[in-house]
């Protein structure tokens, strides 16, 4: 797995807000409803001193061409990063404005945004939600007085985070989702056995079980989330909206891989938050934002490409300790998303994934960004099949250029990895 894997692939909640902490489900009385709009709020995951929040706002009034959502936190919560909008915060008061690509909101349309935040003490749900100055009550009721500002918000985003982290524990839960065991379809038993035997024979010079930096290891070491740093290997500029789109797409595609093992053989997570903690670039002027939501590394060139700080990278610190990372362990990165101008196909491994920057941006709204999915598969140990094909199967994601989506065979290959490695994590 240390070897470079090369993929020659062509290029909410409704009336209440729910949260999961340590695998325990709770309810937050956070459904703020108001004239002209309705808001649902969810804590998708929570860990010691931090959490991921998701907000969905529905426009119940006239169509909008721009929106501004405000709310008030009742405690110490401070937002550090958002996607699906641009935020500002003054004390407990938060304002999130639309991104450049999701400002249009049709009547009865909804849009979602997400954020990472810190807190101390209790993490009580916010209140006083308002859209463009109109308090959200869940209905349009002109008899309650004149509306101020646009009468309502959101339309389905044209390119937004279509799946934010929806419910991932970031600490190993005390209980796990309902589970199934090893029972692949009968026609896949033989090819699955062939694949596992091949991997045992070829990985790390026959030391598959001795290697300790698979994506599984990184995910479980974190307690259920993955951090990324983007290596922007291009001369193109990146706006804040594009940055957020890149993050949202990465979250959506990554969850597709995780979905294949949810509920299987004690796998402890139902969703995995993906956090982009840094960007590496040749010239700071290429990054057209001024907020400090991500760490920025400038002109540290390795492999002829911008490199994120090695002191913060899991690949370079496989003991999981980051004493020299400027932002500390919380700002470490597990994978690099290496986006290279003019690059065809993809590479993937325990270090992350590499693919063309043009391909990524052109497919940012695709249901399946199959090159990225293929390379994330390598991060989780899945093999390449350039020189052989397992018995009785022809077309699956990890056999490059034979399909553009995850198949039943890919799912069971991922499950096979989990069932063979899970004992090292105590499952």
- Residue spans of the domains in the chain: they are 17-144, 186-425
- Are the C-beta atoms of 188 and 409 separated by less than 8 Å? yes
CATH code of domain 17-144? 2.60.40.290
Query: How much is the average pLDDT of 405-417?
Result: 97
Percent of the chain with pLDDT over 90: 63
- Are the C-beta atoms of 381 and 1 separated by less than 8 Å? yes
Name the class of domain 186-425: alpha beta
For residue 227, give the 3-state DSSP assignment. Answer: strand
The answer to whether the predicted template modeling score (pTM) of the entire model surpasses 0.75 is no
Q: Which residues contact 371 (CB under 8 A, 6 or more apart)?
A: 7, 9, 10, 11, 345, 346, 355, 359
What is the predicted pLDDT for the residue at 140? 52
Rg of the Cα atoms in the chain: 22
pLDDT in tens, 76-94: 999 987 777 889 999 999 9
pLDDT in tens, 250-269: 999 999 999 999 999 999 99
Q: How far apart are CA 174 and CA 38, in angstroms?
A: 34
**For 83, how many CA atoms within 13 A lie in the half-sphere containing its CB?**
29
> Of the ranges 60-69, 144-153, 208-217, 294-303, which one carries the lowest mean pLDDT score?
144-153
pLDDT in tens, 287-320: 999 998 899 999 999 999 999 999 999 999 999 9
Residue with the bigger pLDDT between 14 and 160: it is 160
Q: Which residues contact 197 (CB under 8 A, 6 or more apart)?
A: none
Q: Look up residue 382 and give its two tokens.
A: 């899945």
Q: Look up residue 168 and give its two tokens.
A: 């991932």
Q: What is the C-alpha end-to-end distance of the chain, expressed in Å?
A: 23
Q: Look up residue 75 and give its two tokens.
A: 């405690």
What is the predicted pLDDT for the residue at 102? 79
Sheet holding 134-135, edge to edge: 86-90, 93-97, 68-72, 127-131, 134-135
Percent of the chain with pLDDT over 70: 82
Q: 3-state SS of the chain: helix, strand, coil percent to 5? A: 25, 30, 45
Q: Which of 82, 141, 120 has its CA nearest to residue 292?
A: 82
Average pLDDT over the chain, rounded to whole? 82
> Of the ranges 79-88, 92-101, 141-150, 388-397, which one carries the lowest mean pLDDT score?
141-150
Say yes or no to pLDDT of 43 above 60: yes
Question: Tokens 């808001």 identify what position?
Answer: 39
Q: How far apart are CA 191 and CA 188, in angstroms?
A: 5
Q: Which residues contact 154 (CB under 8 A, 6 or more apart)?
A: 57, 58, 59, 64, 67, 102, 105, 106, 109, 110, 111
């Amino acid at each position: 797995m240390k070897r470079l894997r090369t993929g020659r692939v062509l290029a909410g909640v409704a009336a209440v807000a729910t949260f999961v902490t340590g695998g325990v489900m709770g309810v937050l009385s956070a459904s703020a409803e108001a004239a002209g709009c309705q808001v649902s709020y969810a804590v998708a995951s929570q860990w010691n001193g931090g959490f991921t929040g998701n907000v969905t706002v529905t426009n119940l009034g006239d169509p909008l061409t721009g929106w501004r959502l405000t709310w008030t936190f009742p405690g110490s919560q401070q937002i550090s990063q958002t996607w699906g909008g641009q935020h500002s915060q003054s004390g407990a008061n938060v304002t999130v404005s639309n991104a450049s690509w999701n400002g249009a909101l049709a009547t009865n349309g909804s849009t979602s945004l997400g954020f990472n935040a810190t807190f101390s003490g209790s993490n009580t749900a916010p209140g006083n939600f308002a859209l463009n100055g109109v308090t959200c009550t869940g209905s349009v009721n002109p008899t309650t007085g004149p509306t101020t500002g646009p009468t309502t918000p959101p339309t389905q985003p044209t390119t937004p985070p279509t799946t934010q982290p929806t419910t991932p524990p970031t600490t190993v839960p005390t209980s796990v989702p309902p589970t199934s065991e090893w029972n692949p379809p009968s026609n896949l038993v033989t090819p699955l056995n062939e694949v596992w035997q091949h991997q045992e024979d070829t990985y790390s010079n026959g030391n598959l079980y001795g290697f300790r930096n698979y994506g599984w290891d990184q995910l479980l070491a974190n307690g259920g989330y993955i951090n990324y740093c983007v290596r922007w290997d291009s001369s193109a500029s990146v706006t804040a909206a594009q940055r957020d789109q890149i993050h949202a797409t990465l979250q959506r595609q990554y969850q597709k891989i995780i979905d294949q093992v949810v509920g299987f053989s004690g796998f402890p997570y139902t969703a995995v938050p993906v956090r982009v903690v840094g960007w590496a670039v040749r010239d700071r002027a290429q990054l057209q934002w001024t907020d400090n939501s991500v760490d920025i590394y400038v002109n540290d060139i390795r492999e002829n490409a911008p490199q994120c700080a090695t002191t913060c990278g899991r690949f370079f610190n496989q003991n999981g300790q980051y004493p020299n990372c400027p932002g500390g362990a919380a700002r470490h990165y597990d994978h690099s998303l290496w986006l290279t101008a003019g690059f065809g196909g993809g590479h993937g491994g325990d270090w992350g994934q590499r693919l063309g920057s043009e391909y990524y941006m052109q497919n940012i709204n695709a249901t399946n960004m199959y090159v990225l999915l293929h390379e994330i598969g390598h991060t989780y140990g899945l093999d390449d099949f350039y020189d052989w094909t397992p018995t009785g199967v022809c077309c699956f994601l990890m056999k490059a250029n034979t399909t553009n989506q995850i198949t039943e065979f890919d799912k069971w290959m991922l499950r096979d990895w989990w069932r063979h490695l899970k004992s090292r994590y105590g499952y």
